[in-house]
Amino acid sequence: MNRMPPTAQRVRFGPFEADLRTAELRKDGARLRLQEQPFQVLAMLLELPGELVSRDELRQRLWPADTFVDFDHSLNTAINKLRDVLGDSASEPRYIETLARRGYRFVGAITPAEPVAVAHVEIRTASAEDELPRPPRTLPRFLLVLIQTMYLVFYLVALSRLGRIEVTHAYLGARFIDVLIIVVIVTGAIGIAARLYWLACLLFDFRGTARQFLRVFPALFVLDELWALAPLLLWTRIGVGLAFGAMAALLFLPFAQRNLVRMAYERPRT
């Protein structure tokens, strides 16, 4: 494995050329659009070709101690974007090898690059369009508070009117209605506790909100998607069309919440 000279600022590997001074990556002379964090990951790997760069080393360089971020998610995103631009694969790496739970290693052959004339062509990649908007933090936090409040009201109203299910949906059968009532009570109780917790996190601007939310998102997703079916129980009163429209909106809300959490908390505080 060729080791990069310490003074090298332009490095070539395969058809790629990285300018470590200007943070530019080119392929066959054409500039590739790559965001800052994925490029910094690449730069660290190029500085130590063939050697392990630990996840902790990457965290210390890319995300200082006073910066709040869901590190695991952010680093995985940066690696995926970098691999996407390089056309690399985690299962059959040509450039970036993953060492499970330890870090990453650059396995391609590199050489210092001589200055060459390059074409001023910018190639847009799909990964370059993945950045979330960066509105003022108060806006996504406010929307998240509204969503949690909406769910809380939703649960309380549904639980207060459980007795009407037997009247309006007698055609479902007594056994099915009993099971349905139990499901509503159990999931509603879990949902109330979850929404009160997220409301407290948001109102007090808890720094660990994103990390904890993304950790429990799969379970929260199942709960929210289950409750997204609730408007179907109202079809006899609001009509089939409106019931399906409300269900579609509720099906989308878990994804909206995840993006709002990331917009509000996956960056340094301002």
Are 122 and 33 in contact by the 8 Å Cβ rule? The answer is yes
113 & 144 share domain: no
167 & 229 share domain: yes
Please spell the DSSP secondary structure of 77-95, one letter per residue: HHHHHHHHHHT--SSS-SS
Measured distance between the N- and C-terminal CA atoms of the chain, rounded to whole angstroms:
43
In a domain, 270, yes or no: no
At 55, the amino acid letter reads: R
Domain end marker among 98, 129, 160: 129
Residue pointed to by tokens 């062509």: 121
174 & 261 share domain: yes
- pLDDT in 10s for each residue of the chain, 270 residues: 455 544 457 889 989 999 988 889 999 888 998 888 889 999 999 888 889 999 888 888 887 665 555 677 888 888 889 999 999 988 889 999 999 888 999 998 887 655 444 444 344 444 444 466 777 888 999 999 999 999 998 888 888 877 776 656 666 677 877 888 888 889 989 999 999 999 999 999 888 888 888 888 899 999 999 888 888 777 777 788 888 888 888 898 999 999 898 888 875 444
Closest CA to 127 of 59, 25, 4: 25
142 & 259 share domain: yes
Domain end marker among 129, 160, 177: 129
103 & 157 share domain: no
142 & 252 share domain: yes
Beta sheet of 119-123, edge-to-edge order: 111-112, 10-13, 16-19, 24-27, 30-32, 119-123
256 & 146 share domain: yes
17 & 91 share domain: yes
What is this structure's pTM?
Answer: 0.50
Number of compact structural domains in the chain: 2
User: What's the full length of the chain, in residues?
Assistant: 270
Domain end marker among 72, 107, 129: 129
88 & 202 share domain: no
In a domain, 187, yes or no: yes
142 & 105 share domain: no
